[in-house]
Structure formats: C-alpha cells, structure tokens
Amino acid sequence: MGEKLMSESAAPSFPPSTPIPSGKLGMWVFLSSEIMLFGAFISAFIVLRMGSPNFGVPSEEIMGRPLATVNTFLLILSSFTMVLALAAIQRDDRRSFARNMIATMGLGILFLIVKMFEYHHKISEGLTISSGLFGSFYFTLTGLHALHIIGGLVFNGYVLRNGLRGRYSARHHERVEYAGLYWHFVDLVWVILFPMFYLV
C-alpha cells in the first residue's frame, strides 16, 4: 500500500499530453527499429534465394524439421504463458504471475538448449556460417534471434524479480506488459524464420 501511494504521488497530477504511456511508446519505437533490423536480413534472404542461381538449400536431414517444430511449439507456448502472467498480475494474483513468468523463462531456456543441439548437428554435417549463402543466412538470422531470446530472458528475469518483491499489482504492472511486448515480438520473428529456413 505504501509503495502504491508513493508511485502515485510521484506521477504528475495532470494528464500527460499523449495518452500513451511513454514506456509503451518507447517499446514500440524500439520494436519498429527491430522490424527494420530483421526485415533487412529477411528481405536480403528473399531476394538472394529467388534471384541467385547458386543458392544451395541443404537436405531435410541436415535441417531437422521435427526439432525445429518442437522449438516453434516451445516459443508459442512461452508467449501464451507470458500473457497469462500479465492477466494474473492484472487481477493481483501474484502467485500465478510468478508461476507463469517462471514457465515463460523455462520455455525460453529450453528453446536455446534445443537450438544448441541443432547448431551442433548442422556444423558437424558441414553446414556452417561460411559454407554458403544458406548457411550464412541461417546462422546470422537464427543467431541474432537467439541473442534476442537471451535478452528477453534477462528482461523477464528482471520483471520476475520485481514481481517477487511485490513491486507489481493490479494497478501498476506496466513493465510486465512491456516485457511481454518484447517477448511476443521475439516469438513473432521465429514464426517467420521457421518456414523460411525449414519448410520451403
């Protein structure tokens, strides 16, 4: 209760000039720049794949479609647990919030572990970042995506820690929402990368 009063007195008593909280606006500006970052790589992939006669695509055995499908499910499920965590804190259910945040992070870590096995398999089969156009794109894009997962784990860990210390409530949980926005974006990028590299 005390912290609620404190954060309320710290907030301006007049309505801000924009109805969007600046944290949310900032997160969306950041995500918009992230769209450009991934978009640049993805558009280069589309153009080269369609235009280059030397674009060799590795066999299904090297790509390992079943494992990548498992990873896709893991990320989709983690997005779901993330919104459940937000819904939980919105109704002041801190227990369910913590449980869902831990599940989200656990699924993210599992994704990275599967990815590690995948990388090991591909490199031992001769598909490396310098083995050709496909390998370069595959390792650059999935590597960049994996770095984003690690970033998301740090952000989620911070939000979980704050939540466990009782800093969020039904009234104040903005950062849970922002962490969610970022995590869903990382999931969304994977939804695009998955068919690009594994399915066609």
Partner 1 sequence: MDNQKSPVPLYAAVFGGLALLTGVTVLLSYLHLSHRVAIPLAALIALTKCTLIASVFMHLKWEGKAIRALLFTGLFLVAVLVLAVLPDIGVARP
Site residues (CB under 8 A) for partner 1? 18-21, 24-25, 28-29, 31-36, 39-40, 42-44, 46-47, 50-53, 65, 69, 72-73, 76-77, 79-80, 82-84, 86-87, 90-91, 177, 180-181, 184-185, 187-188, 191-192, 194-195, 198-200
Question: Are the C-beta atoms of residues 34 and 145 closer than 8 Å to each other?
Answer: no
Q: 99 is written with which tokens?
A: 């449980």
Min dist CB 11 to partner 1, Å, is: 13
Helices (H), 91-196: 94-124, 133-164, 174-194
Question: Are the C-beta atoms of residues 112 and 149 closer than 8 Å to each other?
Answer: yes
* Choice between 62 and 123, CB closer to partner 1: 62
Min dist CB 27 to partner 1, Å, is: 10
The whole-angstrom separation of Cα 189 and Cα 193 is 6
* Choice between 21 and 126, CB closer to partner 1: 21
* Choice between 164 and 196, CB closer to partner 1: 196
**DSSP labels, 43-56:** HHHHHHHHH-TT-P
